[in-house]
Structure 1
Amino acid sequence: MENIEKLSGYNEFRNYADNIKSGNVNFYFTGSKNESGVSWCPDCVEALPHVEEAFEKYQNNCTLISVDVGDRAYWKDMSNPFRLDKDIKLMVIPTLIRWKKPQRLEGDQCAKKDLLQMFFSDEED
């Protein structure tokens, strides 16, 4: 989708996040994709169309950034930086978070249309 920005890896995520000045920014963390554009993470594959649809339908003046967390082996390493980052504390993918706010959906919650509607239509800034 053209209105969803894409980042790959922890350094790209951190550089982007460290430069957010204001606004309603949401991050969608997912497994990296193969040459065909399909993630190694089956839960991420299942959730992605629901996240994209809800973002298109309900988003209210917000930005969505899709972040590839790496391949399966990298993600499974309990000491990888996504898991240790104090701002996101990822334990599961897919995860959808509102930057510096309490809104968060994890795992199969990211495929639930009612939760996605609440997440994206929330007007808190």
Structure 2
Amino acid sequence: MCKSETHDYSASKVHGFKQQPADLASFGSLYPSICAACKVSSLQAACSYSKFVQAAQQSRGRLVFVLFCRDKDAQGQNWCPDCVTAEPIVRSELNSLPNGAVFIYCQIGDQAYWKDPNNEFRKNLKLTAVPTLLKYGTPQKLVEEECLNRELAHMLFTRLSFFFFSQSFI
């Protein structure tokens, strides 16, 4: 289960750091792969809509990428099979993020909350499914099975003028 804190892991602060921060533990071995690249300015975890908004506001002026997944239980198990499959694929492409980018891993709540059509993620961010990987503030996103495609994740992270419209828009 994710802690509801966010931290700024600037490359200068994390270079050579061997342990994975506790707030990112729910994203598996994300941190060591980013540390090796030493170019992402911030890795953050959020476990509620308000924590997501706070993390996004703290990252103004920088490229922000967000992976929205469903919550994990106390044993760290995710009840969403697509999220389980997408996480290692997205994690493997994090070294492709542009210099200074921010990556936020956000858990959207339990199954009952997610199914509520009035939940804040659906209502305010127009999320229709999870997992969703998006470039915040743009229409560029990958939804559900699109997140399972390593090439699409790489393209989203590396092409600054890339406009990919999810099938959910078509």
TM superposition score normalised by structure 2: 0.67
SS at match of 1:33: coil
**Based on CA coordinates, which of the two structures has the bigger radius of gyration?**
2
Residue type of the alignment partner of 2:131: P
Q: Is the 8 A contact 2:56 2:64 kept in 1?
A: no
Structure 1 residue ranges, 4+ long, deviating more than 4 angstroms after superposition: none
Matched with 2:27 is: none
Instruction: Provide the rounded CA distance (Å) in 1 between the counterparts of 2:104 and 2:57.
Output: 14
Residue type of the alignment partner of 1:78: P
Instruction: Provide the rounded CA distance (Å) in 1 between the counterparts of 2:98 and 2:132.
Output: 20
**Aligned residues: percent identity?**
33
| Aligned match for 1:43, one of 82, 85, 100 | 82
1:103 and 2:127 correspond: no
Matched with 2:71 is: 32
Stretches of structure 1 that go unaligned for 5 or more consecutive residues are: none
Instruction: Provide the rounded CA distance (Å) in 2 between the counterparts of 1:59 and 1:81.
Output: 27
Instruction: Provide the rounded CA distance (Å) in 2 between the counterparts of 1:20 and 1:63.
Output: 7
Coordinate RMSD, CA, aligned: 1.4
TM superposition score normalised by structure 1: 0.89
Pick closer, same or farther for the CA change 1:5–1:18 going to 2, 3 Å: closer
Matched with 1:7 is: 46
The structure that is strand-richer by fraction is: 1
1:60 and 2:98 correspond: yes
Q: Once the 2 structures are TM-superposed, how far is the Cα of residue 83 of structure 1 from its aligned partner?
A: 0.3
Q: Once the 2 structures are TM-superposed, how far is the Cα of residue 36 of structure 1 from its aligned partner?
A: 2.4
Deviations 1:23-62 (A, max 9, x none): 1111110001112222111110010000000112x11222
Instruction: Provide the rounded CA distance (Å) in 1 between the counterparts of 2:156 and 2:46.
Output: 21
Aligned length: 121
Stretches of structure 2 that go unaligned for 5 or more consecutive residues are: 1-29, 35-42, 162-170
Which one scores higher on RCO, CA 8 angstroms, separation ≥ 6? 1
